[in-house]
Amino acid sequence: MTEAIDRSLLRPHAEQAYASELSALARTDDRPRPPSWRLSPWAVVTYLLGGVLTDGTTITPKYVGPRRLVEVAVATLATDRALLLLGVPGTAKTWVSEHLSAAISGASTLLVQGTSGTPEEAIRYGWNYARLLAEGPTDGALVPSPVLTAMREGRIARIEELTRIPADVQDALITILSEKTLPIPELATEVQATKGFNVIATANDRDRGVNELSSALRRRFNTVVLPLPATEEEEVAIVTRRVEQLGSALELPPVPAVAEEIRRVVSVFRELRSGATTDGRTKLKSPSGTLSTAEAISVITSGLALSAHFGDGVLRAADIAAGIVGSVIKDPVADSVVWNEYLEAVVRERADWADFYRACREVSG
Protein backbone atom coordinates (compact mmCIF):
# COMPACT_ATOMS: atom_id res chain seq x y z
CA MET A 1 0.00 0.00 0.00
CA THR A 2 1.54 3.33 -1.04
CA GLU A 3 1.43 6.53 0.96
CA ALA A 4 -0.98 9.21 -0.19
CA ILE A 5 0.66 12.29 -1.69
CA ASP A 6 0.71 15.31 0.61
CA ARG A 7 -1.50 17.70 -1.35
CA SER A 8 0.05 20.69 0.39
CA LEU A 9 3.35 20.11 -1.41
CA LEU A 10 3.93 22.50 -4.28
CA ARG A 11 6.05 19.99 -6.20
CA PRO A 12 6.30 16.42 -4.89
CA HIS A 13 9.42 14.46 -5.78
CA ALA A 14 9.04 11.96 -8.61
CA GLU A 15 8.98 9.03 -6.20
CA GLN A 16 6.11 10.70 -4.33
CA ALA A 17 4.05 11.86 -7.30
CA TYR A 18 4.32 8.52 -9.12
CA ALA A 19 4.49 6.18 -6.15
CA SER A 20 1.55 4.07 -7.35
CA GLU A 21 3.12 3.53 -10.78
CA LEU A 22 6.48 2.61 -9.26
CA SER A 23 4.74 0.18 -6.92
CA ALA A 24 2.81 -1.41 -9.79
CA LEU A 25 5.99 -1.81 -11.80
CA ALA A 26 7.79 -3.41 -8.86
CA ARG A 27 4.92 -5.91 -8.40
CA THR A 28 4.79 -7.02 -12.03
CA ASP A 29 8.51 -6.75 -12.85
CA ASP A 30 9.95 -10.26 -13.13
CA ARG A 31 13.08 -9.38 -15.09
CA PRO A 32 16.64 -9.42 -13.70
CA ARG A 33 17.54 -6.38 -11.60
CA PRO A 34 21.08 -5.06 -11.13
CA PRO A 35 22.28 -5.00 -7.50
CA SER A 36 20.37 -2.49 -5.32
CA TRP A 37 18.01 -1.50 -8.16
CA ARG A 38 14.31 -1.25 -7.30
CA LEU A 39 13.32 -2.15 -10.87
CA SER A 40 14.83 -3.96 -13.83
CA PRO A 41 16.28 -1.84 -16.67
CA TRP A 42 13.26 -2.80 -18.80
CA ALA A 43 10.86 -1.56 -16.12
CA VAL A 44 12.82 1.69 -15.71
CA VAL A 45 12.47 2.39 -19.43
CA THR A 46 8.76 1.57 -19.24
CA TYR A 47 8.40 4.00 -16.32
CA LEU A 48 10.07 6.77 -18.35
CA LEU A 49 8.31 6.17 -21.67
CA GLY A 50 4.97 4.79 -20.52
CA GLY A 51 3.05 1.61 -21.27
CA VAL A 52 0.41 -0.81 -20.00
CA LEU A 53 1.42 -3.51 -17.51
CA THR A 54 0.18 -7.08 -17.41
CA ASP A 55 -2.17 -6.24 -14.53
CA GLY A 56 -3.77 -3.46 -16.59
CA THR A 57 -1.99 -0.55 -14.86
CA THR A 58 -1.29 2.35 -17.20
CA ILE A 59 2.14 3.92 -16.83
CA THR A 60 2.10 7.53 -18.00
CA PRO A 61 5.01 8.72 -20.14
CA LYS A 62 7.42 10.99 -18.28
CA TYR A 63 9.61 11.68 -21.31
CA VAL A 64 8.71 11.89 -24.97
CA GLY A 65 11.68 11.18 -27.21
CA PRO A 66 13.69 8.44 -28.90
CA ARG A 67 13.38 5.16 -27.02
CA ARG A 68 16.93 4.18 -27.87
CA LEU A 69 18.34 7.21 -26.03
CA VAL A 70 16.51 6.19 -22.85
CA GLU A 71 17.65 2.58 -23.24
CA VAL A 72 21.27 3.71 -23.63
CA ALA A 73 20.97 5.92 -20.55
CA VAL A 74 19.53 3.12 -18.42
CA ALA A 75 22.03 0.55 -19.71
CA THR A 76 24.86 2.93 -18.84
CA LEU A 77 23.70 3.15 -15.23
CA ALA A 78 23.72 -0.65 -15.03
CA THR A 79 27.48 -0.58 -15.74
CA ASP A 80 30.34 1.16 -13.94
CA ARG A 81 30.09 4.22 -16.20
CA ALA A 82 28.48 7.42 -14.99
CA LEU A 83 25.84 9.10 -17.15
CA LEU A 84 26.04 12.65 -18.53
CA LEU A 85 22.80 14.05 -19.94
CA LEU A 86 23.72 16.81 -22.34
CA GLY A 87 21.50 19.22 -24.26
CA VAL A 88 20.37 22.78 -24.68
CA PRO A 89 18.31 24.28 -21.84
CA GLY A 90 14.77 22.98 -21.69
CA THR A 91 15.36 19.50 -23.11
CA ALA A 92 14.20 17.78 -19.88
CA LYS A 93 17.66 16.81 -18.61
CA THR A 94 16.78 17.46 -14.97
CA TRP A 95 13.37 15.84 -15.41
CA VAL A 96 14.89 12.66 -16.87
CA SER A 97 17.61 12.60 -14.22
CA GLU A 98 15.05 12.84 -11.42
CA HIS A 99 12.84 10.08 -12.81
CA LEU A 100 15.76 7.75 -13.51
CA SER A 101 16.91 8.14 -9.90
CA ALA A 102 13.39 7.61 -8.56
CA ALA A 103 12.90 4.43 -10.60
CA ILE A 104 16.33 2.94 -9.88
CA SER A 105 16.96 3.97 -6.27
CA GLY A 106 13.50 4.85 -5.03
CA ALA A 107 14.71 8.35 -4.21
CA SER A 108 15.79 11.33 -6.28
CA THR A 109 16.95 13.61 -3.48
CA LEU A 110 20.69 12.86 -3.37
CA LEU A 111 21.32 16.02 -5.35
CA VAL A 112 24.23 18.42 -5.84
CA GLN A 113 23.19 21.65 -7.54
CA GLY A 114 26.09 22.93 -9.59
CA THR A 115 26.90 26.63 -9.51
CA SER A 116 30.03 28.75 -9.87
CA GLY A 117 30.25 28.72 -6.08
CA THR A 118 29.82 24.97 -5.48
CA PRO A 119 32.59 23.89 -3.06
CA GLU A 120 34.48 20.61 -3.08
CA GLU A 121 32.67 19.64 0.13
CA ALA A 122 29.42 19.37 -1.83
CA ILE A 123 30.92 16.46 -3.77
CA ARG A 124 33.21 14.90 -1.15
CA TYR A 125 32.41 15.69 2.50
CA GLY A 126 32.53 18.48 5.06
CA TRP A 127 32.76 18.77 8.80
CA ASN A 128 30.53 19.74 11.69
CA TYR A 129 32.98 22.29 13.08
CA ALA A 130 31.53 22.33 16.59
CA ARG A 131 32.09 18.58 16.90
CA LEU A 132 35.39 18.80 15.05
CA LEU A 133 36.72 21.26 17.65
CA ALA A 134 35.35 19.21 20.53
CA GLU A 135 36.25 15.72 19.30
CA GLY A 136 38.79 16.17 16.56
CA PRO A 137 38.26 14.41 13.22
CA THR A 138 35.80 11.59 13.89
CA ASP A 139 33.18 9.83 11.85
CA GLY A 140 30.53 11.60 13.90
CA ALA A 141 31.95 15.00 13.00
CA LEU A 142 32.02 14.20 9.29
CA VAL A 143 29.17 15.59 7.15
CA PRO A 144 28.71 13.37 4.09
CA SER A 145 27.87 14.85 0.71
CA PRO A 146 24.98 13.43 -1.34
CA VAL A 147 27.60 11.61 -3.44
CA LEU A 148 29.19 10.02 -0.37
CA THR A 149 25.77 8.97 0.93
CA ALA A 150 24.96 7.39 -2.44
CA MET A 151 28.26 5.49 -2.35
CA ARG A 152 27.50 4.09 1.10
CA GLU A 153 23.91 3.14 0.28
CA GLY A 154 24.33 1.90 -3.30
CA ARG A 155 22.09 4.57 -4.81
CA ILE A 156 22.11 7.15 -7.61
CA ALA A 157 23.58 10.60 -6.96
CA ARG A 158 22.54 13.49 -9.17
CA ILE A 159 24.75 16.44 -10.12
CA GLU A 160 22.94 19.28 -11.85
CA GLU A 161 24.73 21.69 -14.20
CA LEU A 162 28.10 19.96 -13.92
CA THR A 163 29.80 22.41 -16.28
CA ARG A 164 28.93 25.36 -14.05
CA ILE A 165 31.02 23.87 -11.23
CA PRO A 166 34.65 25.13 -11.10
CA ALA A 167 37.09 22.78 -12.83
CA ASP A 168 39.08 21.97 -9.69
CA VAL A 169 35.87 20.95 -7.90
CA GLN A 170 34.73 18.87 -10.87
CA ASP A 171 37.96 16.90 -10.66
CA ALA A 172 37.02 15.66 -7.19
CA LEU A 173 34.79 13.24 -9.09
CA ILE A 174 37.62 11.55 -10.96
CA THR A 175 38.71 9.18 -8.19
CA ILE A 176 35.09 8.52 -7.21
CA LEU A 177 34.10 7.54 -10.75
CA SER A 178 37.26 5.65 -11.71
CA GLU A 179 38.20 3.87 -8.47
CA LYS A 180 34.70 3.85 -6.88
CA THR A 181 36.24 5.00 -3.64
CA LEU A 182 36.52 8.25 -1.70
CA PRO A 183 39.59 8.61 0.54
CA ILE A 184 39.10 10.38 3.90
CA PRO A 185 42.71 11.09 4.92
CA GLU A 186 41.68 12.90 8.12
CA LEU A 187 40.29 9.57 9.39
CA ALA A 188 42.94 7.43 7.68
CA THR A 189 40.17 5.56 5.93
CA GLU A 190 38.08 5.50 2.76
CA VAL A 191 34.52 4.88 1.65
CA GLN A 192 34.15 2.23 -1.04
CA ALA A 193 31.05 2.38 -3.19
CA THR A 194 28.35 -0.22 -2.61
CA LYS A 195 26.96 -2.00 -5.67
CA GLY A 196 24.20 0.06 -7.22
CA PHE A 197 26.04 3.37 -6.81
CA ASN A 198 26.30 5.61 -9.85
CA VAL A 199 26.14 9.26 -10.86
CA ILE A 200 23.83 11.09 -13.25
CA ALA A 201 25.11 14.52 -14.25
CA THR A 202 23.43 17.11 -16.43
CA ALA A 203 25.06 19.88 -18.43
CA ASN A 204 24.49 22.30 -21.27
CA ASP A 205 27.04 24.24 -23.27
CA ARG A 206 24.89 27.30 -23.99
CA ASP A 207 25.30 29.04 -20.65
CA ARG A 208 27.88 31.76 -20.27
CA GLY A 209 30.70 31.00 -17.87
CA VAL A 210 30.74 27.28 -18.61
CA ASN A 211 33.68 25.26 -17.29
CA GLU A 212 34.56 22.59 -19.82
CA LEU A 213 35.05 19.09 -18.46
CA SER A 214 38.61 17.85 -18.46
CA SER A 215 39.32 14.96 -20.80
CA ALA A 216 40.05 12.77 -17.76
CA LEU A 217 36.62 13.48 -16.28
CA ARG A 218 34.75 13.28 -19.59
CA ARG A 219 36.13 9.76 -20.13
CA ARG A 220 34.39 8.65 -16.93
CA PHE A 221 30.98 9.53 -18.37
CA ASN A 222 28.88 8.03 -21.09
CA THR A 223 27.21 11.04 -22.76
CA VAL A 224 23.61 10.98 -23.97
CA VAL A 225 22.45 14.07 -25.85
CA LEU A 226 18.77 14.88 -25.30
CA PRO A 227 17.33 16.59 -28.38
CA LEU A 228 14.55 19.10 -28.71
CA PRO A 229 11.22 17.51 -29.77
CA ALA A 230 11.49 16.32 -33.35
CA THR A 231 8.06 17.40 -34.58
CA GLU A 232 5.50 20.04 -33.75
CA GLU A 233 2.94 17.36 -32.84
CA GLU A 234 5.37 15.82 -30.38
CA GLU A 235 6.13 19.17 -28.75
CA VAL A 236 2.44 20.09 -28.54
CA ALA A 237 1.76 16.77 -26.80
CA ILE A 238 4.55 17.38 -24.27
CA VAL A 239 3.37 20.92 -23.50
CA THR A 240 -0.26 19.83 -23.20
CA ARG A 241 0.55 17.02 -20.77
CA ARG A 242 2.80 19.14 -18.55
CA VAL A 243 0.37 22.08 -18.53
CA GLU A 244 -2.39 19.75 -17.34
CA GLN A 245 -0.14 18.35 -14.61
CA LEU A 246 0.98 21.80 -13.46
CA GLY A 247 -2.55 23.18 -13.54
CA SER A 248 -3.69 20.34 -11.30
CA ALA A 249 -0.72 20.70 -8.92
CA LEU A 250 -1.20 24.47 -8.64
CA GLU A 251 -4.97 24.02 -8.29
CA LEU A 252 -5.68 26.56 -11.00
CA PRO A 253 -9.35 26.96 -11.90
CA PRO A 254 -10.13 24.90 -15.03
CA VAL A 255 -9.72 26.94 -18.21
CA PRO A 256 -11.06 25.42 -21.48
CA ALA A 257 -9.94 25.82 -25.09
CA VAL A 258 -6.18 25.72 -24.62
CA ALA A 259 -5.28 23.50 -27.59
CA GLU A 260 -5.23 26.29 -30.17
CA GLU A 261 -3.08 28.57 -28.03
CA ILE A 262 -0.66 25.77 -27.14
CA ARG A 263 -0.16 25.03 -30.82
CA ARG A 264 0.33 28.73 -31.52
CA VAL A 265 3.02 29.13 -28.85
CA VAL A 266 4.79 25.97 -29.99
CA SER A 267 4.71 27.14 -33.62
CA VAL A 268 6.21 30.51 -32.74
CA PHE A 269 8.98 28.95 -30.68
CA ARG A 270 9.83 26.33 -33.29
CA GLU A 271 9.95 28.84 -36.13
CA LEU A 272 12.15 31.28 -34.26
CA ARG A 273 14.42 28.45 -33.06
CA SER A 274 14.89 27.05 -36.55
CA GLY A 275 15.24 30.41 -38.31
CA ALA A 276 12.48 29.66 -40.83
CA THR A 277 8.70 29.44 -41.03
CA THR A 278 7.05 26.03 -40.94
CA ASP A 279 6.55 26.00 -44.71
CA GLY A 280 10.19 27.00 -45.26
CA ARG A 281 9.27 29.98 -47.42
CA THR A 282 10.48 32.72 -45.10
CA LYS A 283 13.89 32.91 -43.46
CA LEU A 284 13.92 34.35 -39.95
CA LYS A 285 16.44 35.69 -37.49
CA SER A 286 16.69 33.75 -34.25
CA PRO A 287 16.68 35.47 -30.85
CA SER A 288 19.38 35.00 -28.22
CA GLY A 289 17.23 32.79 -25.96
CA THR A 290 16.68 29.07 -26.39
CA LEU A 291 12.85 29.15 -26.64
CA SER A 292 12.68 25.68 -25.17
CA THR A 293 9.74 23.40 -24.55
CA ALA A 294 10.04 24.24 -20.86
CA GLU A 295 9.55 27.92 -21.64
CA ALA A 296 6.50 27.12 -23.76
CA ILE A 297 5.03 25.25 -20.79
CA SER A 298 5.70 28.28 -18.58
CA VAL A 299 4.04 30.67 -21.06
CA ILE A 300 0.86 28.58 -21.24
CA THR A 301 0.70 28.02 -17.47
CA SER A 302 1.07 31.75 -16.83
CA GLY A 303 -1.62 32.39 -19.41
CA LEU A 304 -3.97 29.98 -17.64
CA ALA A 305 -3.44 31.84 -14.38
CA LEU A 306 -4.13 35.19 -16.07
CA SER A 307 -7.28 33.87 -17.72
CA ALA A 308 -8.56 32.20 -14.57
CA HIS A 309 -7.99 35.11 -12.21
CA PHE A 310 -8.14 38.22 -14.42
CA GLY A 311 -9.86 37.11 -17.63
CA ASP A 312 -13.09 35.47 -18.65
CA GLY A 313 -12.00 31.91 -17.90
CA VAL A 314 -11.11 31.09 -21.51
CA LEU A 315 -7.46 31.09 -22.59
CA ARG A 316 -7.03 33.74 -25.28
CA ALA A 317 -4.20 35.35 -27.23
CA ALA A 318 -4.07 38.27 -24.80
CA ASP A 319 -3.34 35.86 -21.95
CA ILE A 320 -0.24 34.40 -23.59
CA ALA A 321 1.09 37.52 -25.34
CA ALA A 322 3.06 38.94 -22.41
CA GLY A 323 4.62 35.58 -21.59
CA ILE A 324 5.67 34.84 -25.13
CA VAL A 325 7.14 38.32 -25.67
CA GLY A 326 9.06 38.00 -22.40
CA SER A 327 10.45 34.62 -23.49
CA VAL A 328 11.58 35.88 -26.87
CA ILE A 329 13.06 39.23 -25.84
CA LYS A 330 16.01 38.52 -23.56
CA ASP A 331 18.30 41.12 -25.13
CA PRO A 332 16.20 44.32 -25.22
CA VAL A 333 17.96 45.64 -28.33
CA ALA A 334 18.79 42.72 -30.63
CA ASP A 335 15.85 40.49 -29.70
CA SER A 336 13.33 43.32 -30.07
CA VAL A 337 14.39 43.67 -33.71
CA VAL A 338 14.01 39.93 -34.27
CA TRP A 339 10.58 39.87 -32.66
CA ASN A 340 9.23 42.91 -34.50
CA GLU A 341 10.39 41.51 -37.84
CA TYR A 342 8.68 38.20 -37.04
CA LEU A 343 5.43 39.94 -36.08
CA GLU A 344 5.33 41.99 -39.28
CA ALA A 345 6.64 39.40 -41.74
CA VAL A 346 4.90 36.29 -40.41
CA VAL A 347 2.23 36.84 -37.76
CA ARG A 348 0.57 39.79 -39.46
CA GLU A 349 0.18 37.81 -42.69
CA ARG A 350 -1.72 34.95 -41.05
CA ALA A 351 -5.41 35.79 -41.17
CA ASP A 352 -6.35 33.47 -38.31
CA TRP A 353 -3.65 35.00 -36.11
CA ALA A 354 -5.07 38.54 -36.11
CA ASP A 355 -5.99 38.41 -32.41
CA PHE A 356 -2.51 37.18 -31.55
CA TYR A 357 -0.90 39.95 -33.62
CA ARG A 358 -2.95 42.65 -31.89
CA ALA A 359 -2.24 41.24 -28.42
CA CYS A 360 1.52 41.04 -29.06
CA ARG A 361 1.58 44.54 -30.54
CA GLU A 362 -0.11 45.89 -27.40
CA VAL A 363 2.51 44.25 -25.20
CA SER A 364 5.50 45.11 -27.42
CA GLY A 365 4.42 48.72 -27.88
Mean pLDDT of 170-184: 95
pLDDT at 230: 87
Residue ending a domain, among 225, 254, 288, is 225
102 and 201 within one domain? yes
266 and 159 within one domain? no
Mean pLDDT of 131-141: 94
Is residue 37 one of the residues assigned to a domain? no
241 and 207 within one domain? no
Using the predicted structure, report yes or no on whether residue 208 has a pLDDT greater than 70.
no
Residue ending a domain, among 225, 243, 268, is 225
- The CATH number of residue 176's host domain is 3.40.50.300
Alpha helices (H) in 62-171, listed in sequence order:
67-77, 93-105, 129-135, 146-153, 167-170
247 and 162 within one domain? no
Is residue 5 one of the residues assigned to a domain? no
Mean pLDDT of 83-90: 91
Using the predicted structure, report yes or no on whether residue 289 has a pLDDT greater than 90.
no
Cβ atoms of 139 and 75 within 8 Å: the answer is no
215 and 70 within one domain? yes
Question: Which residue range forms the structural domain that includes residue 331?
Answer: 232-364
183 and 249 within one domain? no
Using the predicted structure, report yes or no on whether residue 264 has a pLDDT greater than 90.
yes
| Interval 38-75: pLDDT, tens | 999 999 999 999 999 999 999 999 998 899 999 999 99
248 and 205 within one domain? no
At residue 1 the predicted structure's pLDDT band, cuts being 50, 70 and 90, is very low
Using the predicted structure, report yes or no on whether residue 27 has a pLDDT greater than 90.
yes
204 and 127 within one domain? yes
Mean pLDDT of 312-338: 91
167 and 303 within one domain? no
305 and 353 within one domain? yes
Using the predicted structure, report yes or no on whether residue 243 has a pLDDT greater than 50.
yes
Is residue 8 one of the residues assigned to a domain? no
Instruction: Decide the pairing of beta strands 51-52 and 58-59.
Output: antiparallel
219 and 88 within one domain? yes
Q: What is the DSSP string of 58-69?
A: EEPPS--S-HHH
pLDDT at 89: 84
pLDDT at 326: 92
256 and 171 within one domain? no
**How many residues can be counted in the chain?**
365
From the list 104, 97, 102, the residue with the least C-alpha distance to 16 is 102
Is residue 15 one of the residues assigned to a domain? no
Residue scoring higher pLDDT (253 or 83): 83
Using the predicted structure, report yes or no on whether residue 255 has a pLDDT greater than 80.
no
Residue ending a domain, among 204, 225, 246, is 225
Using the predicted structure, report yes or no on whether residue 221 has a pLDDT greater than 80.
yes
Instruction: Tell me how many domains the chain contains.
Output: 2
Task: Kindly report the average pLDDT of the chain as a whole number.
Answer: 92
From the list 342, 337, 329, 214, the residue with the least C-alpha distance to 275 is 342
Query: pTM value?
Result: 0.90
Coil, helix or strand for 157? strand
Quote the Cα angle for 56-61-66, to 5°: 125
Is residue 128 one of the residues assigned to a domain? yes
